[in-house]
Structure 1
């Protein structure tokens, strides 16, 4: 796993490294060298370096010096003379570089800047760094649009200028990079908000040869899951299993309005490896689900007048749940008094539980001001996995703002920390998904835009439930099991897009390629871990 840090954590890390004997000036030299090496990979003949006022600009000045020594023609564009830079470290390297074989352009007009940029093979963005927040001011509010309009190859240092490194928010303008060289550790803003849209390919320069010894001495905003981390969570399939020992899943879902959600979740659970899947659905939609899933038993449950779970639904669902290794509740069930009672009673059982979609909306109705204010509602000994998207997560925490990765992580941590259970996991779904446990926040591989289709979340819920059931509770870290399930779901998006076209994928396509996706995840994980297939 690779640590992802917020701005405060980066500052603490730099201070620790300095105490260990490596100065911030030395780190700037290493940063500039790493940025120059990344730019040089594009084999440029002419590079323009856009430098700001601070240490991010200092990194750019160092990179410009190194590139010029490699025989590259380099223009450095700066808003002020090198002698006027306030940061002592940045001023030193700027003065040093300006006295060497680079051309320095101070405070160009927009037309002059456009003419300079137009000659470049690559532009190195060293304007604004991790300390930036708010709106971009002149002259950079003029530089950045001029740069973006030319559509050049751009490499940004640490974060694209204009991006908030903490939140991923762009208040005004932001550099649209082809690549970002982030330093010491990736910044959380690169994965939140507009970060994934503007950062391009991210590479990380560790800069310090003993980084592994000190990075765990600071908190991590999150950790990126690498394929090798998932190896031990790839399910085995011994020769002596039967349909029950493979893992059993009860899907409590559906309504007369949304029977398809139950169908998708159940079929995904079966495709993802559960040996025995049963659906408990309101009686009015049970026959339709039976016809769609001939290999899955369907139990009709008492309904209300609208074809949703009724007042008498809770008791039979609760009794059924005791027979299964995992229960998935929520897809398509709608929010009713009967549904709320079903969710409440399932939370009181001892079976591992995955709550998705309307089960989460039922939960949010159980407490005023956010369920974290009454954690006894959802605190339990058995594993509990919640899978909200941003709007559902917002409702769970009393309609607080949840609209990007950072705010989703904050909201999920409120729920997890209030309950205080190692067995509670919140999978905060979005363009970048976070898996939040009581101690760790994990960032699994994100899927393509093709996953943004109705029913995709039902498929993910089925995949998660299947893996919980197959594990039979023998799991050291539930967040890593969830990371495996999310990775499989992401790969279904890629596989389905390859077959159908990115714009044409629908949720049933995801289920159809689940076998391929699991094979791809397994192959990638074993390769990353240095294990040959079949070992």
Structure 2
């Protein structure tokens, strides 16, 4: 499923109207009809009466025009409706004038905003048709007043296209912002509806066709997708069920090397190694400081241990780089970082690994922090083999020398630009994880739950991706599949427990 920005949506609209020749009034009619149908269906499902009034909040733009069409169709279906204009009809332009005139000729009850002149208790629901995808910044004056009143009414609110006050591109909530029960978004998903906190403000989101052909996206090279099984199978040519041929053996599925863990954080390497196996890697070797290795004997018998001399410290050291390089020579993937810690000359150590290891790399956790602090990372050699970065927002902020707030306010574009610039796959973790590829494609994840905000969940994800890379999946395939299955496993694990609060990282591994 395609996900578009407000500017991309505007171009798709104009192409459909001006080049294909479908009139804008036809698109508006289709939009309003779809909104009305969703309300009718919801009313029947919840056994609500269509005799009690619905309030249609209407702005001066095309979003308001969609609302007027919806009001007309609801009236035809037997609903009692009131239309409340945020501004005087004297300010209307284009198609909005046409829709206003139709409502006037049909003698639909219309009112112009006046503060405290409406009894909100008489309504059963609200249609939010105030502000559309072109709106920017905090709503003002009548719009702000109506949004606040709608939210305080505790009535179910159905937003058209996006909740008023939500940034369609970033998911930022300007204040005030509608808290919708349901958002009926038109033609294509909007980026702000699948990024937090916009996704939460939008409630249940449904995409409805309004007559814009799917082929129009080819005209503008739309490169953002909602992560679904159909998208994975169609775009990446991968069966999400990961079937295996019967005539195979452990060597068929590759050998992953895990560089992780210290005395204080040995569990990170254990979780990462186990999840690499669960992801299907035929073999997994975990290299770790010798003191830690002695404590891990027998903890996970399916994983091979490769101790690194640590002088009884339980920590990594710069001399271990040569040993890791030798261990990597017959491996199909390598993950560096979970529970790694920081140590003297760790930037020298990591740069040596970066420049001499030839198998695909997953850079996670402290490996990313080392890069953040390294001088002149930009001058490290370009790698011909695939690299995947898996930062959470804090790590991404350190990489870019900015704030977490700046990252969270523009996750899609930041991940895309970093991936293109550095020619690596970027997996920006968090609610609705973003996967950006070297060619600018972005996938937004829709699996997983808040219970996965727990220590070790990221280590599990890094291991899954390394396990998939070991099986010769491309970096793009491994990152996308890894995030998708990691989220699904978390959902299955949470479903087996009383609450998401009790979910731990090991539960996720057991459901892979």
Match of 1:197? 200
1:222 matches 2:224:
yes
1:152-301 aligned within 5 A: 152-208=155-211, 211-220=213-222, 222-231=224-233, 232-234=238-240, 235-301=242-308
For 1:130 and 1:337, locate their aligned partners in 2 and report how far apart those are by CA, in whole Å.
51
Are residues 1:365 and 2:364 paired? no
Structure 1 position 4 matched with structure 2 position 3:
yes
For residue 489 of structure 1, report the CA deviation from its aligned partner. 0.6
CA contact (8 A) 1:326 1:469 kept: yes
**Structure 1 residue 428: Cα displacement:** 1.0
Alignment of 1:57 onto 2:64: yes
Aligned to 1:31: 31
Report how far residue 304 of structure 1 moved: 7.1
Offset at residue 393 of structure 1 (A): 1.2
Q: Residues 236 and 347 from structure 1, CA distance in 2 versus in 1: closer, same or farther, beyond 3 angstroms?
A: farther
The corresponding residue for 1:520 is: none
8 Å contact from structure 1 (residues 233, 481) kept in 2: no
C-alpha RMSD of matched pairs (Å) = 2.0
Unaligned runs of 5+ in 2: 44-48
Partner residue, 2:92: 86
Residue of structure 2 in register with 1:451 after alignment: 452
**Partner residue, 1:513:** 511
Could you list the per-position Cα deviations for residues 285-306 of structure 1 after superposition, in whole angstroms to 9, with x for gaps in the alignment? 2222334223212111133786
5+ long unaligned stretches in structure 1: 515-535
Q: Show CA shifts across 1:480-514 (max 9, x none).
A: 33222111111121111112221110111111222
* SS across alignment from 1:281: strand
Aligned to 2:411: 408
Task: Classify the secondary structure of the residue corresponding to 2:417.
Answer: helix
Q: In 2, distance between residues paired with 1:297 and 1:242? A: 17
Helix, strand or coil: the match of 1:42?
Answer: helix
TM-score, L = length of structure 2: 0.92
How far apart in 2 are the matches of 1:270 and 1:69?
Answer: 59
**Structure 1: how far apart are the matches of 2:388 and 2:27?**
42
- Structure 2 CA distance for partners of 1:36 and 1:367, relative to 1, 3 Å: farther
State how many pairs are aligned: 496
- Is the contact made by 1:390 and 1:403 (CA closer than 8 Å) also made in structure 2? no
Runs of 4+ in 1 over 4 A off after TM superposition: 400-406
Partner residue, 1:517 = none
In the alignment, structure 1 residue 395 sits paired with structure 2 residue 398: yes
For residue 405 of structure 1, report the CA deviation from its aligned partner: 5.5
Structure 2: how far apart are the matches of 1:336 and 1:118?
A: 64
TM-score, length of structure 1 as denominator length: 0.88
Tell me, yes or no, if structure 1 residue 107 matches structure 2 residue 113.
yes
Whether the aligned pair in 2 keeps the contact of 1:251 and 1:328 (CA below 8 Å) is yes
Secondary structure of 1:121's match? strand
Larger CA deviation: 383-392 vs 299-308: 299-308
CA contact (8 A) 2:407 2:414 kept: no
Tell me the alpha carbon deviations over residues 13-71 of structure 1, each in whole angstroms, 9 at most, x when there is no partner.
11211222123232222221121111121125132111112211111011101111111
Q: Are the aligned partners of 2:170 and 2:411 in contact in 1 as well (CA < 8 Å)?
A: no
C-alpha contact 2:86 2:130 (8 A) present in aligned 1: no
Deviation at 1:106, TM superposition (A): 2.0
Q: Tell me what 1:430 maps to.
A: 430
Post-superposition Cα deviations, 1:349-384, rounded to whole Å, max 9, x if no partner, equal 21011111111111122245xx4xx1x526211111
SS state at 1:139 partner:
helix
What is the distance in 2 between the residues matched to 1:241 and 1:342? Answer: 37
Q: 1:196 to 1:283 in 2, by over 3 A?
A: same
Distance 1:460 1:80 in 2: 50
Measured in 2, the distance between the counterparts of 1:192 and 1:311 equals 40
